[in-house]
A = this chain, B = another copy of it.
Amino acid sequence: MSEQSRGPGATAFVPGHVTGFFSPYPDDDPGRAGSRGAGVTLSDGVRVTVRPADGDAPRITLDGDHLPMDAVTTVLSALDVADRARVVAESDPPLGTGFGVSGAMALGAALAANHAFGCERSANALVTLAHRAEVMAGTGLGDVVAQARGGVPIRLDPGAPTHGRLDAVPERTRVEYLALGDLSTAEVLAGDTDRLVTAGEDALSRLVERPTLPTLIDESRRFADETGLVTDRLADVLSAVDDAGGRASMAMLGETVFALGSGLSDAGYDASVCRTYDAGAHLVAD
């Protein structure tokens, strides 16, 4: 029927996702846990191929390196294919710098394994599996549902599709980014999150009131400044973009600057360039 069914494996593309601001909502049920907030999905993303396992090849690789990844393993186990699936991922943005690469691997593995092994799950069921796995692994709270939607997602309510609720800014734009280093999502979430909740809720209500790209980037920047997550290196880059008349903020969570339009290159940085992505995660032709 579809082109993918001919091959022995399947590949999914999952857009990268940069969160601009968020409020964490932990819950004992990982399907209800998540975050409210907003960000941009990116044409720079992750291609995830799932094939029947062959011999002693590593089970999960990212850009050629063997990489144990709890969220991916959890997804494969939930689909009952953990002992016979091999996952090969290639990512445009680097892992651990705030692009939702781990969520993308979980969601991409779910979509590709569902096709490759004929698991017959619905889209919502696969997003739910990946969201739960990502929450349980502690590597993200809102990337998976945003990556499943595409565009410029607004996460109105936390959680997997049954519980969460999304809207979006109905615009598209060029996005530039500069990854300086990594920040531990788990460490930030283990700290005092009261400031995040307050600043994140304020930003969200202002974006809902006026759902435009300028609001998104301005509220993201305000959130970054108010929550004290901006490192010295980030502050230097943000100031330079400001001075060049651009708009930029910090990826939540990574030591990464993202700018809408050409803010980083206008300020003289050799930034990566991509666009917001119109589609959510999807299978691709072999």
Residue ranges of A at the interface with B (Cβ–Cβ < 8 Å)? 1-4, 111, 114-115, 120-126, 150-151, 154, 161, 167-174, 208, 210-214, 217, 247, 260-261, 278-280, 282-283, 285
Contact = CB atoms under 8 A, between A and B. Distances in A.
20 contacts: A1-B213, A1-B217, A1-B247, A1-B260, A2-B260, A3-B173, A4-B172, A114-B170, A121-B170, A122-B154, A122-B168, A122-B211, A124-B167, A124-B168, A125-B211, A151-B280, A151-B282, A278-B282, A279-B279, A279-B280
A162 to B, nearest CB: 9
A3 to B, nearest CB: 7
Given A2-B174, A170-B282, 4 more contacts: A3-B172, A111-B170, A123-B168, A170-B283
Kindly name the residue among A1, A151, A154, A167 whose own CB sees the greatest number of chain B CB atoms within 10 A.
A1
Nearest to A150: B279
Contacts of A115: 170-171
Nearest to A114: B170
A3 B260 CA distance: 11
A2 B167 contact: no
Contacts of A168: 122-124
Identify the interface centre among A169, A170, A173, A212: most chain B CB within 10 Å of its CB. Answer: A170
Contacts of A122: 154, 167-170, 208, 211
B1 A283 contact: no
A211 to B, nearest CB: 4
A2 B173 contact: yes
Contacts of A213: 1-2
Nearest to A208: B122
A124 B207 CA distance: 14
A107 B137 CA distance: 39
A111 B168 CA distance: 12
A118 to B, nearest CB: 8
A259 B21 CA distance: 44
